[in-house]
């Protein structure tokens, strides 16, 4: 690594640290209905939206009503994308006359973008019309990201709303907010303004934004080459800010029309973590303790720095098979090794899934670290909203363990953590894990799973394991050596995405409903403090132990054995 690489990484995390309280404080004001500098412009639009849709912004919902609204809204989004993909051949804004997709691919893609996974079993410029990209995928990029934040807000309110234990005659609160209000505010005040700004900057860097037909150019050798165009910048901005990750073009952010310059590369990889990091501060403000947010931020950052360090060390070490250090195979020459690894680790901790290099070409340990990031539940910053409510599930488990250690009833911010909360938290951890392990097992046992492999032995196993890990973790990145546009993988991975998304959301909302009705208990001498570095260390230990116990055997068959074979100079 060069000194400039270290400087860029330091600048990256320094800016993230500075922007976290700035954006986080702004979002806290938005979600709590307080006035912000955007209020004069956005509030009239917000009121019009409520009037047209018939939403009473002063009426709140129970957790079941909140969950039902969320499920109905997401189901409508699925149907819209599914229909667009099947019918795009007969619809406008299709200058290349691209026909409708298969029902299998339409199902997989509609589920993918509804669940904020953005897994792509197709090449965007060859399979989708401009209308499908904009009206289908770009819209889902906004609302799927907003959906993740709504769940976090409901859970934060369940924790924060306090009922004094002395007022036994007063009924505890039963509501966790209004889904439609939360969805509107995160989209209108945060996602749209940031996306507009980023899209304009990306266009200035050379990212394409056009409705024109593809161009046929003559190469220096005299051959014809089709140059794809399209409204890419507007989709790329929200794909990064919303931790979506689905590329407009087939090779995603390695494509020069999506990511043309080092500056656009830095902006895009920074945008991936901007909102997830800031939400930790927002959470602290909502629950009335900014220190809580900083402890969570610190735990996330510590894990990210460790996995980034391991991946950089592995990728820059001497490779006996390739007989080189820092090999550039599978990486963009414009960005180099350090930028590829920084992006790879960032995109996999953040459930983003976009890539500026091929993870299939990473060294075994670097590719393994990308897989581990997702296997840990993508709670290290994670998706917009989703990462933090996933982390809160681990916090509940950690608080429960800490309570058992000191012999007291577990408490978190004045709310007792009892059997129901622990059971729901365990479901959120076990459901995606089961998808990963059972899905991989089935795929390696049947011809339909093995026939898609381009590599054999340990690396081929890693490709399958990564695919189900990415689906269950709602990440969307891939070891690109696996052909997944088949009926088996389209259906199996689609089911995995659904379980990985709603198998976490519904238990999290149930916990919000349980906690909001509990009375507040003031801290005492026996209360385990959750705003200290010691709690962050315990939290990290629980996350790593759960991940290690669950996935170490599978990792041993893939990236670990491949690393050992590589050091012995062997390949497949």
Q: What confidence tens digit (pLDDT) does each residue in 167-224 have?
A: 443 444 689 999 999 999 999 999 999 999 999 999 999 999 999 999 999 888 888 8
Do 138 and 236 contact (CB within 8 A), yes or no? Answer: no
Predicted confidence at residue 168, as pLDDT, reads 43
The segments of the chain whose pLDDT lies below 70 read: 163-173, 572
What is the DSSP track for 42-101? HHHHHHHHHHHHT--TT---BHHHHHHHHHHHHHHHHHHHHHHHHHGGGSSS-TT-PPPP
Cα–Cα distance list, 80 to 122, 186, 281 (Å): 18, 21, 34
Cα–Cα nearest to 296, from 363, 389, 220: 389
**Assigned token pair, 30:** 């938005």
Place of tokens 């991936």: 272
Do 443 and 464 contact (CB within 8 A), yes or no? Answer: yes
CA–CA gap between residue 184 and residue 340 (Å, rounded): 35
Place of tokens 């009206």: 135
CA–CA gap between residue 547 and residue 551 (Å, rounded): 6
Predicted confidence at residue 165, as pLDDT, reads 47
Torsion of CA 31, 346, 485, 83, to 10 degrees: 20
In the chain, domain spans: 1-190+273-572
Q: Indicate whether this model's pTM tops 0.85.
A: yes
Sign of CA pseudo-dihedral 515, 521, 522, 528: negative
Predicted confidence at residue 163, as pLDDT, reads 64
**Assigned token pair, 295:** 């402890």
Do 332 and 254 contact (CB within 8 A), yes or no? Answer: yes
Give CA 91 to chain center in angstroms. 31
| Diameter of the chain measured on Cα atoms | 85
Cα–Cα distance list, 12 to 8, 264, 269, 342 (Å): 6, 13, 9, 10
**Assigned token pair, 70:** 């969320």
Cβ-based neighbour number of residue 196 at 10 Å: 13
Predicted confidence at residue 190, as pLDDT, reads 97
CA–CA gap between residue 526 and residue 391 (Å, rounded): 24
Do 117 and 468 contact (CB within 8 A), yes or no? Answer: no
Cβ-based neighbour number of residue 223 at 10 Å: 8
Predicted confidence at residue 200, as pLDDT, reads 97
């Amino acid at each position: 690594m060069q000194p400039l690489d270290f400087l860029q990484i330091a600048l990256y995390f320094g800016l993230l640290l500075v922007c976290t309280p700035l954006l986080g404080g702004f979002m806290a004001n938005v979600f709590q209905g307080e006035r912000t500098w955007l209020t004069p412009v956005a509030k009239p639009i917000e009121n019009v939206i409520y009037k047209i849709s018939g939403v009473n912004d002063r009426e709140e919902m129970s957790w079941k009503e909140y969950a039902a609204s969320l499920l109905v809204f997401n189901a409508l989004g699925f149907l819209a994308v599914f229909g667009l993909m099947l019918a795009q051949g007969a619809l406008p804004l299709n200058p290349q006359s691209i026909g409708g997709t298969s029902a299998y691919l339409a199902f997989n893609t509609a589920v993918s973008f509804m669940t904020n996974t953005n897994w792509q079993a197709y090449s965007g410029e060859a399979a989708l019309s401009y209308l499908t990209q904009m009206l289908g995928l770009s819209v889902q990029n906004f609302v799927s990201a907003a959906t993740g934040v709504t769940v976090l807000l409901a859970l934060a309110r369940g924790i924060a709303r306090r009922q004094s234990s002395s007022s036994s005659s007063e009924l505890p609160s039963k509501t966790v907010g209004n889904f439609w209000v939360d969805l509107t505010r995160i989209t209108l005040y945060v996602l749209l303004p940031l996306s507009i700004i980023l899209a304009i900057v990306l266009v200035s860097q050379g990212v394409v934004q056009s409705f024109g037909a593809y161009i046929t150019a003559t190469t220096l050798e005299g051959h014809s080459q089709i140059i794809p165009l399209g409204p890419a910048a507007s989709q790329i901005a929200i794909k990064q800010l919303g931790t979506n990750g689905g590329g407009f073009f087939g090779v995603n952010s390695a494509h020069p029309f999506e990511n043309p310059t080092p500056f656009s590369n830095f902006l895009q990889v920074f945008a991936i973590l901007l909102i997830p990091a800031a939400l930790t501060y927002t959470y602290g403000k909502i629950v009335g303790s900014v220190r809580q947010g900083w402890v969570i931020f610190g735990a996330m950052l510590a894990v990210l720095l460790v996995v980034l360090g391991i991946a950089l060390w592995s990728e820059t070490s001497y490779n006996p098979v390739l007989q080189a250090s820092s090999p550039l195979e599978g990486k963009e020459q414009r960005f180099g090794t350090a930028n590829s690894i920084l992006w790879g680790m960032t995109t996999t901790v953040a459930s983003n899934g976009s890539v500026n290099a091929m993870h299939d070409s990473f060294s075994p340990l670097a590719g393994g670290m990308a897989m581990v990031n997702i296997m840990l539940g993508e709670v290290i910053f994670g998706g917009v909203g989703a990462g933090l409510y996933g982390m809160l599930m681990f916090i509940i488990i950690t608080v429960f363990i800490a309570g058992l250690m000191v012999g007291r009833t577990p408490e978190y911010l004045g709310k007792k953590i009892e059997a129901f909360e622990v059971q729901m938290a365990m479901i959120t951890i076990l459901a995606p894990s089961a998808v990963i392990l059972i899905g991989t097992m089935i795929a390696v046992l049947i011809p339909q799973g093995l026939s898609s492999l381009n590599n054999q032995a340990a690396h081929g196993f890693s490709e399958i394991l990564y695919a189900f890990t990415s689906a269950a973790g709602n990440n969307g990145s891939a070891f690109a050596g696996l052909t997944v546009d088949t009926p088996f993988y389209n259906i199996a991975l689609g089911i995995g995405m659904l379980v990985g998304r709603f198998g976490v959301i519904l238990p999290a909302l149930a916990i919000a409903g349980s906690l909001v009705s509990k009375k507040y208990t003031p801290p005492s001498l026996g209360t385990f403090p959750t705003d200290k570095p010691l709690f962050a260390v315990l939290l990290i230990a629980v996350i790593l132990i759960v991940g290690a116990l669950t996935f170490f055997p599978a990792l041993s068959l893939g990236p670990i054995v491949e690393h050992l074979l590589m050091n012995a100079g062997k390949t497949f």
